[in-house]
Structure 1
Amino acid sequence: MTKQEKGLWVTVVVLSVGVIFMGTFIFRGMNDSSTNTDLSASDWKEPVASIAGQMISEKQWVDALKTRYGNKVLMEMLNRQAVLAEAKLQGLTVTESQVDKELQSSMEGYSSEQAFYDEMWNQFGMSLEELRAEATYQVLLEEIATRDIAVSEAAVQEYYEEHEADYKPIRLFDISMIQVDDLDSANHVLERIEAGEAFGEVAESESTDEYSRESKGRLGLIEENDPFQPEEMMRLAEEIQIGDVAGPVQVDEHYIIVRLNDIEEKQGMTFEEAMEDIRMMLALNDSIPLSELEEQLRSKYGADIRVKLERPAS
């Protein structure tokens, strides 16, 4: 997974997953308020935070969350219920192996499974259970969308042959990088590393690349010939040994120093191994958009929104 693709995936997580689990708290608060007519009860007024002498109550917090995220959360909660109802009607189930496979596809580009789980927890507070719940939902939704779509083996074979390069073994480079804006700074950084300073510590303090600086210069696993990465950086990584540091080399108006942390081999896939993935992909191409399917299922199962959610002020 490239840096851009990883960023896109994280954006999807923020918009569709994180908000869902936030909804558990938000709408629990809504339900509590409906049964408690005294909104000034001590537990509702109890401050959850304070700043500059001002208290923020739980009600203020919940109201702000409802105003900003309420509509999205409610739609997602309704979608989950509708999809579960449709899956039960159609007799669809999801196996542990399907969930594992869905999660594995999300982990591409991370140095390990644990690195993926750590980032999801540290950045979004998402547990393994929550990640598996979202993966389960995605698999069910796709199965519903493609249930009545037939894809011939000939079509699958044709796709595999046209994209055979995508299924060949490929090397993945685990790279760290320090970026600075001039050659003198680059040489100074290199001298510090050669003198024994830790690459990650120098990257954290000196790199001008915000994305990698936050992870002490580490870019994660990058496929060889990744078109989104600078050719100069990838060429350096291919020329050095694991653990070596190389550079500086100019990339556009910047100078970078590279450390090769590791190299992994991504296994290829035979036609037999890839055919089910290809079949699902081609079926999804012929299905209605998943968001439209969710809307249809909400309608089918009589979604009834009984609260008025105000639109946030622009």
Structure 2
Amino acid sequence: MTKQEKGLWVTVVVLSVGVIFMGAFILRGMNDSGMDAGSDASEKEEPVASIAGEMISEKQWVDALKTRYGNNVLMDMINRQAVLAEARLQGLTVTESEVNKELQSSMEGYSSEQAFYDEMWNQFDMSTEDLRAEATYHILLEKIATKDITVSEQAIQEYYDEHEEDYKPTRQFDLSMIQVDDLDSANDALERIEDGEAFGEVAEDESTDEYSRESKGRLGFVEENDPFQPEEMLKLASEIEIGDVAGPVQVGEHYIIIRLNDIEEKQGMTYEEALEDIRMMLALNEASPLTEVEQQLRSKYGAETRVHMERPAS
């Protein structure tokens, strides 16, 4: 697994678990505020919303949340307790620098650290503290999964030599893009920009790429050798200066115009700096899947549930 693949994979993990965190947070809040043993039952019937003359009670809301997210939230809570218990037993800890490094991997592809945190909050209601807690959990789980696996220094050195390109310094281009379906449309868009219209406004009007059009053509930072980006676009970006607009250039069946917003130099990693990352990567390749490790820990610590959750109807 390359550094980039690991970064993408970690991002997926953070996002998917973020949904569970959201459900857990809401359920916890409801339990604290409206479902204490001493609270009056009528409070749960108080409306929290209304539409077309119909009321939605707090109880209906909480029941719907439990039905939709309950199984995942409960299992997530059990897993975390089991992992913490095993970490204490094994004397495993997580340092602040390890958490920072894990989060940095998740931030790859975002225009800035703040953009990453804003996205996590806006889309998943995950605060910085939530993200740090999730990173800590993930690191502990990996340490537990690999604690009995030994990776030789020779294997680490061989991996580094084979993937040396991944550890060299690279540049990242902060790009905006307009994609259209024919050359005439591309020239028309370029003419509008040359006449003084803002790149983002033209992108909103003309671009056929739905993802970037919603952000006024902004793609964010991409690595100069990103295998998931068109070579033609990256080559064009490498030939222009910050602030320049270039194109059109044909990419597959489309034509694109780009704007280079910024360039960021990304430091490489020496063998010594990459050693621990590679060791963990190779160890994880030999370890049981992390979901299986969680299952083993639940069994080890005698997890059991005393409620029955219905699966939502499909």
- On whether the aligned pair clears a TM of 0.5, the verdict is yes
Counterpart-to-counterpart distance in 1, 2:287 and 2:4: 29
Distance 1:11 1:155, change over 3 A: closer
**Equivalent AA in structure 1 for residue 105 of structure 2:** S
Q: Deviations over 1:49-97 (max 9, x none)?
A: 3333333222222222211221111111110111111111111111111
Counterpart-to-counterpart distance in 1, 2:256 and 2:126: 34
In the alignment, is the contact (CA less than 8 A) between 1:111 and 1:220 conserved in 2?
Answer: yes
**Equivalent AA in structure 2 for residue 112 of structure 1:** S
SS in 2 for 1:219: strand
Counterpart-to-counterpart distance in 2, 1:15 and 1:161: 33
Q: Could you say which residue in structure 1 is the equivalent of 2:134? A: 134
Report how far residue 120 of structure 1 moved.
1.2
- Map 1:17-36 to 2 at 5 A: 17-27=18-28, 29=30, 33=35, 35=37
* 1:275 aligns to 2:254 (yes or no): no
* 1:221 aligns to 2:221 (yes or no): yes
CA RMSD in angstroms comes to 2.4
Distance 1:83 1:3, change over 3 A: closer
Counterpart-to-counterpart distance in 2, 1:149 and 1:298: 21
Q: Could you say which residue in structure 1 is the equivalent of 2:242? A: 242
Counterpart-to-counterpart distance in 1, 2:9 and 2:281: 19
**Equivalent AA in structure 1 for residue 67 of structure 2:** T
Report how far residue 166 of structure 1 moved.
1.0
Report how far residue 5 of structure 1 moved.
8.6
Report how far residue 240 of structure 1 moved.
1.4
In the alignment, is the contact (CA less than 8 A) between 2:243 and 2:262 conserved in 1?
Answer: yes
Distance 1:80 1:2, change over 3 A: closer
**Equivalent AA in structure 2 for residue 24 of structure 1:** F
Report how far residue 287 of structure 1 moved.
1.2
**Equivalent AA in structure 2 for residue 17 of structure 1:** G
Q: Deviations over 1:70-127 (max 9, x none)?
A: 1111111110111111111111111111100111111111121111111111222211
Distance 1:34 1:135, change over 3 A: same
Counterpart-to-counterpart distance in 1, 2:8 and 2:61: 28
Distance 1:14 1:98, change over 3 A: closer
- Map 1:1-314 to 2 at 5 A: 11-27=12-28, 29=30, 33=35, 35=37, 39=41, 41-42=42-43, 44-314=44-314
Distance 1:6 1:94, change over 3 A: closer
SS in 2 for 1:92: coil
Distance 1:146 1:23, change over 3 A: same
In the alignment, is the contact (CA less than 8 A) between 2:79 and 2:298 conserved in 1?
Answer: yes
In the alignment, is the contact (CA less than 8 A) between 1:6 and 1:109 conserved in 2?
Answer: no
Distance 1:97 1:282, change over 3 A: same
Unaligned runs of 5+ in 2: none
Report how far residue 189 of structure 1 moved.
1.7
In the alignment, is the contact (CA less than 8 A) between 2:14 and 2:131 conserved in 1?
Answer: no
Q: Deviations over 1:17-63 (max 9, x none)?
A: 22124213225546864726864x13x22333333333322222222
SS in 2 for 1:35: coil
Q: Deviations over 1:153-200 (max 9, x none)?
A: 111111111111111111211111011223332222212211222212
**Equivalent AA in structure 1 for residue 190 of structure 2:** L
Unaligned runs of 5+ in 1: none
SS in 2 for 1:111: coil
In the alignment, is the contact (CA less than 8 A) between 1:2 and 1:109 conserved in 2?
Answer: no
Distance 1:4 1:186, change over 3 A: farther
Report how far residue 152 of structure 1 moved.
1.5
**Equivalent AA in structure 1 for residue 224 of structure 2:** E
Counterpart-to-counterpart distance in 2, 1:229 and 1:131: 28
In the alignment, is the contact (CA less than 8 A) between 1:232 and 1:249 conserved in 2?
Answer: yes
SS in 2 for 1:309: coil
Give the % identical residues. Answer: 72
**Equivalent AA in structure 1 for residue 24 of structure 2:** G
Q: TM-score, normalised by structure 1?
A: 0.91
In the alignment, is the contact (CA less than 8 A) between 1:173 and 1:263 conserved in 2?
Answer: yes
Distance 1:273 1:2, change over 3 A: closer
Aligned residues: 312
Counterpart-to-counterpart distance in 1, 2:255 and 2:3: 21
In the alignment, is the contact (CA less than 8 A) between 2:11 and 2:106 conserved in 1?
Answer: no
Report how far residue 305 of structure 1 moved.
0.7
